[in-house]
C-alpha cells in the first residue's frame, strides 16, 4: 500500500486498459471495439475488465476523462480564459476546441454511437457538452462586455449558435463527410462566428475564398 504504484516500471492495469481502449478507438477503419477486443489488446481476460469498470459505457466515459487529463485540456483553454478582449477570447476558445475535436474524435464517436440507443450514455455526453456550452457562454459574455456583440442579439441565442458551430457533429460533417481539411474547417467556423457574433460580416466571405478543396479525399 505504501509502495509507489505510479512507478514507471509497472503501470496500473486500469491505465493499461484505458490506453488499450484509446488505441482501438482511434482506428476508424475497423468496427467499434467490443469488450473482448479491449481485453485482448490490454492482455487480460474479458472478465477482468469488469473488475475495473462496471460497464462498457463507464469505460468509454473514463477513456474520455483520461484523454482530457493526458491532453491537459485545462491548459489548452488557458489562453481563452486569460484573453483580454472579447474577440481574442472568442478566437482562442474556438482554436482550442476545434483543434481538440480531431484528437478525441475516435472516443467521442463511440460514445455518440452508444448515445443513440442508451439514455444513460446520452446523459453522460450531455453533461460533457454542457461544459462546452459554459465556455461558449463565457466567450459570448466577453463579447458583450466589449460591446462587440450586436445590439439586440440575445446572449442565449448567441451562445447556442456558437455551441452549434463548434459541435462535434459539425466537425464530423465538414471534415469527415465533406472531406474538408482541418485548416479550412477552422477558418470557416471562426469566420462564421465573427460574422454572427462579432459584427464582422465580411469575414465569412473572405475566409470562404481561401478555402481550397483541391486534394480532398472524397471528390463527390
Using CB under 7 A, list all residues that contact DNA.
Answer: 1-3, 13, 34-36, 43-45, 47-48, 50-52, 54-57
CA angle 79, 80, 81 (to 5 degrees): 95
Q: Name the percent of the chain in helix, strand, coil, to the closest 5.
A: 70, 0, 30
Q: What is the Cα–Cα distance from 174 to 218, expressed in whole angstroms?
A: 12
By CB under 8 A, residue 35 contacts a copy of itself = no
Q: CB 86: neighbour CB atoms within 10 A?
A: 21
113 touches, from DNA, a copy of itself, none (C-beta below 5 to 8 Å by class): a copy of itself
62 touches, from DNA, a copy of itself, none (C-beta below 5 to 8 Å by class): none
For the window 121-160, what string marks contact with a copy of itself as x by the rule CB under 8 A? --------xx-------------------xxxxx-xxx-x
Judged by beta carbon, residue 56 or residue 194, the one nearer DNA is 56
Grid cell 444513460 — which residue? 120
**Set of cell numbers at residue 85:** 478582449
45 touches, from a copy of itself, DNA, none (C-beta below 5 to 8 Å by class): DNA
Smallest distance from the beta carbon of 48 to DNA, in angstroms?
3
Grid cell 474577440 — which residue? 87
Q: What is the Cα–Cα distance from 16 to 18, expressed in whole angstroms?
A: 5
Judged by beta carbon, residue 52 or residue 98, the one nearer a copy of itself is 98
Q: What is the Cα–Cα distance from 220 to 213, expressed in whole angstroms?
A: 11
Q: What is the Cα–Cα distance from 46 to 56, expressed in whole angstroms?
A: 11
13 touches, from DNA, a copy of itself, none (C-beta below 5 to 8 Å by class): DNA
8 Å CB contact between 192 and 165: yes
What DSSP character marks residue 33? P
Stretch that binds a copy of itself, among 10-18, 84-92, 93-101, 184-192 (CB under 8 A): 184-192
Which residues of the chain form contacts with a copy of itself (CB under 8 A)? 31-32, 109, 112-113, 116-117, 119, 129-130, 150-154, 156-158, 160-161, 163-164, 167, 169-170, 172-174, 177-178, 180, 184, 188, 192, 195-196, 199, 201-202, 204-205, 208-209, 211-213, 220
Amino acid at each position: 500500500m505504501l509502495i509507489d504504484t505510479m512507478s514507471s516500471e509497472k503501470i496500473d492495469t486500469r491505465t493499461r486498459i484505458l490506453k488499450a481502449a484509446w488505441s482501438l478507438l482511434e482506428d476508424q477503419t475497423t468496427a467499434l471495439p467490443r469488450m473482448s477486443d479491449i481485453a485482448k489488446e490490454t492482455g487480460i481476460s474479458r472478465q477482468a475488465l469488469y473488475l475495473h469498470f462496471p460497464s462498457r459505457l463507464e469505460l468509454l466515459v473514463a477513456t474520455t476523462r483520461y484523454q482530457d487529463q493526458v491532453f491537459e485540456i485545462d491548459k489548452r483553454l488557458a489562453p481563452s480564459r486569460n484573453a483580454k478582449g472579447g474577440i481574442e477570447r472568442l478566437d482562442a476558445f474556438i482554436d482550442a476546441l476545434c483543434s481538440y475535436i480531431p484528437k478525441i474524435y475516435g472516443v467521442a464517436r463511440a460514445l455518440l454511437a452508444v448515445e443513440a440507443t442508451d439514455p444513460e450514455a446520452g446523459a453522460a455526453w450531455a453533461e460533457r457538452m454542457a461544459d462546452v456550452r459554459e465556455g461558449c457562454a463565457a466567450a459570448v459574455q466577453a463579447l458583450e462586455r466589449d460591446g462587440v456583440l450586436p445590439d439586440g442579439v440575445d446572449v442565449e441565442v448567441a451562445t447556442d449558435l456558437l455551441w452549434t458551430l463548434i459541435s462535434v457533429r459539425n466537425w464530423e460533417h465538414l471534415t469527415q463527410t465533406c472531406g474538408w481539411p482541418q485548416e479550412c474547417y477552422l477558418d470557416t467556423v471562426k469566420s462564421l462566428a465573427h460574422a454572427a457574433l462579432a459584427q464582422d460580416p465580411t469575414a465569412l466571405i473572405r475566409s470562404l475564398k481561401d478555402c481550397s478543396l483541391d486534394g480532398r479525399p472524397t471528390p463527390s
